[in-house]
Structure 1
Amino acid sequence: MAQGIHLDRANFCCSICLDLLKDPVTFSCGHNYCMVCITDHLDAQDDRMIYTCPQCRQKFMQRPAVVKNNMLAFVVGELMKIETPAIPPPPPSPDFDEDQTEHVACDFCQEKAIKSCLQCMVSYCVEHLRPHFEVAPLQKHKLVEASAQLQENICPRHQEVMKLFCRTDQQCICYLCSKDTHKGHNKVSTAAERVERQRELQATQQHIRKTIQDKERDAKWFQQEEDTINRCAEAALRNNENTYNDLMRIIEKSVAEVKEKVTSRRETEVRWYIKVREKLERDVAELNRKDEELKKFSHTEDHTGFLIKYPTLASLSESTEPPPVKARRVGYFEKVSMALSEAKVNLRAIVGEEYAKVSMTVTGVITSNTKEEPFTRADFLHYVCQVTLDPNTANAHLKISGNDKMVTLCL
């Protein structure tokens, strides 16, 4: 029969110990448990006189009776027969690393153990574990993954397996502790407490996963903001460089125009002065020649000849009018230098003022993008606004005054 029907192991597991049902019994509400598991669960609730089903949480004012389910026991037995030959441990995964797993030796042969029994407090290899599947009394024992920490399940005071959990003291206890130091406390089986803690663990895991999703979303948002800041900063730097180049071209063009005008003016002035100087130099040469002639004429001994030639020579001694000469200017192009100095001062003031405004906008952009909290008084003043209080909606013990901007507590 068992070979002709597909049996799902999960459908025949106790919801308390989460293992195959051992000595299955049926609870009053219809749910099935191991005899030992449900008995421990009900024993732990004797002090409260209120009993609940571990699965559906149905409450009973009297201790409910449990009935052995022979049909379910037969089916579980057939299922165990199918699983018995398949005791060897599962094959390791491709990335299995034996050095990273806990190696527990079998207490009989020192081979690697695959299961530990919480009743026997012994770890078994594949061969020595077989009696727990073949011998009926051993089939009721609780098997877990092989562990070297089995001693932690033993009560240090009574040397009994701790199958109960004291919710009052939040610790695992044995049956003798429940009747001694923990008498009257809120106690449940470790399996039932495991179910509760498993639910809490699942809720914690869900909270962690949600927190991870939120933080990943926030990290993605900050990454996008970071990329945006970098992109906008690069654009601002390029714009700053282009603006500087444009200003330099404007200044260079203005400098070239002033240079051209000064050079043209200088050439015009110099040409005029060269022309006048050359005219004066010719006049000087002519006057020197006449001076030599008069010098020779003045030494002649012929009185008659001197008097005859004198009218002609006298006209030679008359000097011609000098050409008009402009008065020398005090400092050529001084106005140009003064204008350039004034332009430099004005340009420096304008550039400083405008770039100060640009710097303020840069600070504002960074503050807004990084969402920094205000810290100083200046930071808080950015959020200043005028508040007007409404006397019609104020509490009876509050007095509004000062143009509806002041409030006083009146008791």
Structure 2
Amino acid sequence: MATGIDVSHHLKCPICKNLFEIPVTTVCGHSFCQHCLHQHLSMNGQQCPLCQEPVFTKPCMDITLETILREFLQMQMADLSLYTGEKGEIPCNICEDTRTSRAVKSCLTCLLSYCEHHLKRHQSLERHRGHKLVSPVERLDEKACRVHGRPLKLYCKRDKCLMCTLCVKPGEDVISMETERERREV
């Protein structure tokens, strides 16, 4: 990272050991991926995985942690300008040395690009089974919602703009980005 300080370990879920996906915080102050905590609580009873304190209320999304995580990922993407691979090659977002590792796939769900090694790990996780992998994509962060950091998958007919699933308000007329693209090509 450009700052020289590695904070990534503070942004990882203690259950799955990956960067948080929709971070939530329990009453006792511990943070987890929403999916990981929900799965843990349903299988192991209503106790915090770290301190075993009872978790009786639904943990709230940690907006501050989500913002820090988004800014961290944006800084990582800015650091990719240091990549020294071949022209047109996309670097792996996970590798420590972003100057040498070449991505073989990009995940449109995670908005990250993976080298061969990290792709295997990504595919081995149960919660990533439905993720959409494509050939490496340049500037993947620009294809994400600026508010939520999620993929821009939907098209709002009224506002004529792309949006993520979290931006959709009740009653809004939206279609998938692919459907709108096909409609325009006709």
- Give the TM-score band, short-chain normalised: 0.3 to 0.5
What TM-score results when the alignment is normalised by the length of structure 1?
A: 0.24
Q: Which has the greater radius of gyration? A: 1
Higher helix share: 1
Higher strand share: 2
The structure whose RCO (Cα within 8 Å, separation 6+) is larger is: 2
What TM-score results when the alignment is normalised by the length of structure 2?
A: 0.47
